[in-house]
Amino acid sequence: MANKNVTKNRIRIVLEMIKFEHSVFALPFALVGALLAARAGGALPTWGELLWIVLAMVGARSAAMTVNRIVDLEFDRRNPRTANRALPKGELSVGFAAVFTVIASSVLVFAAWQLNPLALKLSPVALTVLFFYSFTKRFTAWSHFVLGFSLGISPAAAWIAIRGSLDARVLILCAAVTLWVGGFDVLYACQDVEFDKAAGLHSIPKKFGVARALLIARGMHLIMVALLVWLALSFQLAWPAWAGIAVVAALLAYEHSLVHPHDLSKMNAAFFTVNGYISLLFLLFWGAATFVGRP
């Protein structure tokens, strides 16, 4: 019984380290990419394809989050907001995290191998992009866009997984996800402005101030909504897609209403809860749109 409890506790700590529950942010957009690819090809994706896409996404994100925790370990120790994370507290060792990264990366590569040759060839490229983000706050204030792009490539990856090729139209969705993730990362970074100044790290809130950073994030999300409109037109999607755009726009407006330059107390609600609803409802509405009026 003691060993089972230790194992359960270790699993809990690992899941907390990689913020497993936040997989909900990118995965629905990847699945929409897969459904759009299937719609364009005239056939539904198989359950096997969807399973390998999910495993690839989980492996990729788990590897990326773990590398981020390893690379930022010294900063996490010094930042009061992050000092209670598993690695700074010593609940997990750097060696364990490194091994976990290799395993998670292997899951991505194996899943890509099960999908098609192009997915396999591009899997190291995906890992390179994901790992590169962890270093960007050291030299550029625009690291938020790199993080956004790291998740933004997921719809294109899912399209490749289904079709074995790439359609330029799915890049519109990639750009939308990039701006969505980058925008809410700008919001989240507002909490760390003073620490970033002391540590010599870079961010949009540090460079422009919190008030202007909030405006920049709003602009990014407005452009995201415009890109979704373009995407719906490009694929000639039916009414559920337009309803989904309206829901996403409304939730983004609500998210921004929770955060003010002198009051960031509702940041967790804006960051975690609202964005979780955005991704899941987007999948619901746009998934339905890929079936309504199917050619």
**65 part of a folded domain:** yes
What integer pLDDT is reported at residue 263 of this predicted model? 84
CA distances from 130 to 81, 124, 153, 241, 265 (A): 23, 10, 10, 29, 30
Q: For the segment 255-264, what is each residue's pLDDT rounded down to a tens digit?
A: 999 888 888 8
State which residues form the domain around 110: 23-289
DSSP secondary structure letter of residue 114:
H
Greater pLDDT, 168 or 86: 168
Q: 14 lies in a domain?
A: no
Measured CA to CA, the distance from residue 144 to residue 149 in angstroms comes to: 9
Q: CB of 162 within 8 A of CB of 118?
A: no
**Quick one: average pLDDT of 136-154?**
95
**Confidence class for position 26, pLDDT limits 50, 70, 90:** confident
- pTM metric for this prediction: 0.91
Q: What is the CATH number of the domain that holds 205?
A: 1.10.357.140
Which of 34-43, 51-60, 226-235, 280-289 shows the lowest mean pLDDT across its residues? 34-43
**Percent above pLDDT 90 for the chain:** 71
Residue 17 included in any domain? no
Three-state secondary-structure class, residue 169:
coil
pLDDT band for position 295 (cuts 50, 70, 90): low
- Please report whether residue 13 resides in a domain: no
Query: Is residue 7 one of the residues assigned to a domain?
Result: no
What pLDDT shows up at residue 4? 55
Identify the pLDDT of residue 18.
Answer: 65
- Domains: count for the chain: 1
> Is position 2 within any domain?
no
d(CA 82, CA 88): 8
Residue 10 resides in a domain: no
Mean pLDDT of the chain: 89
Range 168-180 average pLDDT: 96
Query: Is residue 222 in some structural domain?
Result: yes
